Copies of this chain bind each other. A is one copy, B any other.
């Protein structure tokens, strides 16, 4: 269902690797029908015209169809189609992060009830094996932390801003020119896409349903060249991280820009690549890296899922263990998270201003780790200062921000970014 970039890619792989796939699956796989919006549209992929349909129910109710591949994207009508497919006892392979993030637990339960399964490896991290290792290979460990770069668009933009010192808008424009950002980039640059993917990973890792609305998200639009310059000076890289932590059965789930030490592996993930780092009590740190999007890597995950589904249909039962949701953990409100912070602000360059700022922070139990003050701008008589704090609670930081904004000597709070070590 869906014969766009990804759907066309899957059809191509099924055709070109027919024999190898049959060998792996234990039976030939035949593309019976393909859902398209417009029958008359010219197509680059060599697909027989007589298998194209415009009515989803021709697929969903077709008895000859055992496996439905949903690559339409977006919540509706994909959600309805997946539900119908499952109810009609068809296995579903989907790359749909929005549907799986919003309705995954319900759909997986429905599939179990109907004796079928939903595979969704392609919904997070393109071709990188993530969901399957979490479900099967890391089940002995209790996962405590996920740090993930799971949006290629924003990682590309941040990489260019960092390497070339260009503005966010220019980097976005470059990404759009190369097809790495959509004409309407909102979902990527605001962190919504990463939040969906994090909800999916956290649900599996923590055996407890995490919904997209549980995930705090903040985009990368406020970052400027100056922030990158200070980050480098302080030994950090800036990344949009999807972060999930299980601290005493209370979950932190959040997507926002962070300062991370420049010498760790996550800081070296450049361009459109994705990387997911997990920490578990037994396994320690593991990291998975690869191309997070694109027709070809996504097809790799989808076709592997198809092969696994075919194998499962042939053998008739579920024999491989899958991590289960057997807990309900509470989501920690953003106000209660604790981390280090970076502030950048413009202040009036006169004696005692830093003392005023330090007092506001101190009154809110925020302790300062380091301060950088740069030369005064003679025209405006303002100076720029950068403050790195020790770990502090988000709500204390927010309160301090409000108090600082009320001070006439503080011209502007230019930015604040959380720091993860």
On A, residues with C-beta under 8 Å from B are 13, 17, 20-21, 23-26, 121, 127-129, 132-133, 136-142, 265, 268-269, 280-291, 294, 296-297, 299-304, 306-308, 310-312, 315-321, 323-324, 326
Give Cα A174–Cα B304 distance, bound, in whole angstroms: 44
Which residues of the other chain, B, contact A321 by a CB distance below 8 angstroms?
Answer: 24-26, 307-308, 310-312
Asked if residues A304 and B24 are in contact (CB atoms below 8 Å), the reply is no
Question: Can you list 29 A-B contacts (CB < 8 A)?
Answer: A21-B140, A23-B324, A24-B140, A24-B323, A127-B280, A127-B284, A129-B129, A132-B136, A136-B136, A137-B301, A139-B304, A140-B300, A140-B303, A140-B304, A141-B300, A265-B265, A265-B268, A283-B291, A283-B300, A284-B290, A285-B289, A285-B291, A286-B290, A287-B287, A308-B321, A311-B319, A315-B317, A316-B317, A317-B317
Asked if residues A133 and B129 are in contact (CB atoms below 8 Å), the reply is yes
Give Cα A141–Cα B291 distance, bound, in whole angstroms: 14
Give Cα A137–Cα B306 distance, bound, in whole angstroms: 10
Asked if residues B290 and A289 are in contact (CB atoms below 8 Å), the reply is no
Q: What is the distance, in angstroms, from A127's C-beta to the closest C-beta of chain B?
A: 4
Asked if residues B17 and A286 are in contact (CB atoms below 8 Å), the reply is no
Which residues of the other chain, B, contact A302 by a CB distance below 8 angstroms?
Answer: 140
Which residues of the other chain, B, contact A24 by a CB distance below 8 angstroms?
Answer: 139-140, 321, 323-324
Which residues of the other chain, B, contact A315 by a CB distance below 8 angstroms?
Answer: 317-319
Give Cα A306–Cα B185 distance, bound, in whole angstroms: 45
Q: Out of B20, B138, B281, B310, which one reaches A129, CB within 8 Å?
A: B138
Q: What is the distance, in angstroms, from A108's C-beta to the closest C-beta of chain B?
A: 16
Give Cα A222–Cα B127 distance, bound, in whole angstroms: 39
In chain B, what residue has the closest Cβ to A299?
B282
Which residues of the other chain, B, contact A25 by a CB distance below 8 angstroms?
Answer: 321
Q: Out of B289, B308, B320, which one reaches A287, CB within 8 Å?
A: B289
Which residues of the other chain, B, contact A121 by a CB distance below 8 angstroms?
Answer: 137
Q: What is the distance, in angstroms, from A145's C-beta to the closest C-beta of chain B?
A: 14
Give Cα A401–Cα B258 distance, bound, in whole angstroms: 52
Asked if residues A139 and B307 are in contact (CB atoms below 8 Å), the reply is yes
- Which of A138, A139, A287 has most chain B Cβ within 10 Å? A139
Q: Out of B132, B291, B324, which one reaches A133, CB within 8 Å?
A: B132
Give Cα A21–Cα B133 distance, bound, in whole angstroms: 16
Which residues of the other chain, B, contact A288 by a CB distance below 8 angstroms?
Answer: 286-289
Asked if residues B291 and A289 are in contact (CB atoms below 8 Å), the reply is no
Asked if residues A311 and B304 are in contact (CB atoms below 8 Å), the reply is no
Given A282-B300, A289-B289, A308-B320, does the pair A137, B129 have CB atoms closer than 8 Å?
yes
Asked if residues A326 and B137 are in contact (CB atoms below 8 Å), the reply is no
Asked if residues A286 and B137 are in contact (CB atoms below 8 Å), the reply is no
Q: What is the distance, in angstroms, from A122's C-beta to the closest C-beta of chain B?
A: 11
Question: Can you name 19 extra interface pairs (CB under 8 A) apart from A127-B138, A140-B307?
Answer: A24-B323, A24-B324, A26-B321, A129-B138, A129-B286, A140-B300, A140-B306, A268-B268, A282-B296, A282-B297, A282-B300, A283-B296, A285-B289, A288-B289, A310-B321, A316-B317, A316-B319, A317-B319, A319-B320
Q: Out of B138, B265, B281, B308, which one reaches A289, CB within 8 Å?
A: B265
In chain B, what residue has the closest Cβ to A312?
B319
Q: Which 5 A/B pairs are nearest by Cβ-Cβ distance?
A: A319-B319, A140-B303, A311-B321, A286-B290, A129-B137
Q: What is the distance, in angstroms, from A133's C-beta to the closest C-beta of chain B?
A: 4
Give Cα A284–Cα B296 distance, bound, in whole angstroms: 8
Give Cα A282–Cα B290 distance, bound, in whole angstroms: 12
Which residues of the other chain, B, contact A269 by a CB distance below 8 angstroms?
Answer: 265
Asked if residues B139 and A133 are in contact (CB atoms below 8 Å), the reply is no
Give Cα A17–Cα B319 distance, bound, in whole angstroms: 22
- Which of A140, A268, A283, A310 has most chain B Cβ within 10 Å? A140
Asked if residues B299 and A290 are in contact (CB atoms below 8 Å), the reply is no
Asked if residues B319 and A297 are in contact (CB atoms below 8 Å), the reply is no
Give Cα A132–Cα B135 distance, bound, in whole angstroms: 11
